[in-house]
Amino acid sequence: MTRVQILVGSEMGTAETVAGDIKDRLDSQGINTAVNPLPEIDDLLDNPNDTLLICTSNTGAGELPSNIQPLYLALVRDFPNIAMRRYGVINLGDSSYTTFGEAGRAIDHAMSELGAVRIGEPLILDATSGDDPSELALAWLDDWTKQL
Ligand SMILES: Cc1cc2nc3c(=O)[nH]c(=O)nc-3n(C[C@H](O)[C@H](O)[C@H](O)COP(=O)(O)O)c2cc1C
């Protein structure tokens, strides 16, 4: 099985914690996993066999966290060749914002516009639910990994 590279977008650390918990779970299942807290387009292009897992929060008014913006800008400005790359999306938001989940949808859209192929439906997490985001992500992950 190919390596999973988790592309983290996080302002206050929640998405990064979720990414770390996912890595622990995948490692324990024998799936080689790397957490990338500063994702750049070259990290995708230099590792063409990685399956990608975007794990990002939303900030501002539906914006991506600053650490993942360079990747997003490269996707929409430079049109890199990532056709057929397989990826998943975990989108951490807060439904009290009118821009709930907008940033996660934007990067999902940018990937698919370039011909990348999403595995499964995005997991959309709502901070107002009071649920533990890692618990929900790990439950979602079991089904996601079956599709790898
Ligand atoms: C200043 C600020 C702006 C936010 N803007 C949005 C937003 O536009 N849409 C959304 O769905 N969530 C928004 N959120 C909620 C965060 O995405 C959510 O709390 C997330 O779990 C934070 O993850 P992080 O700690 O990895 O940054 C915002 C949170 C903050 C503090």
pLDDT value at position 2?
87
The two structure tokens encoding residue 115: 């011909």
Count of beta carbons in the 10 Å neighbourhood of residue 94: 16
Q: Where are the domains of the chain?
A: 4-146
- Residue 3: which residues within 8 A CB-CB, separation 6 or more? 31, 32, 33, 34, 47, 49, 50, 51
Q: Is 57 in the pocket of ligand 1 (CB under 6 A)?
A: yes
Q: What is the dotted CATH code of the domain comprising 4-146? A: 3.40.50.360
Mutate to test the pocket of ligand 1, among 14, 54, 57 (most ligand atoms within 8 A of CB): 57
The closest residue, in CA terms, to atom 31 on ligand 1 is 59
> What single DSSP character describes residue 38?
S
- Can you give the pLDDT of all 148 residues of the chain as single tens digits? 789 999 999 999 999 999 999 999 999 999 999 999 999 999 999 999 999 999 999 999 999 999 999 999 999 999 999 999 999 999 999 999 999 999 999 999 999 999 999 999 999 999 999 999 999 999 999 999 999 9
pLDDT value at position 3?
97
Closest atom of ligand 1 to 12 CA is: 25
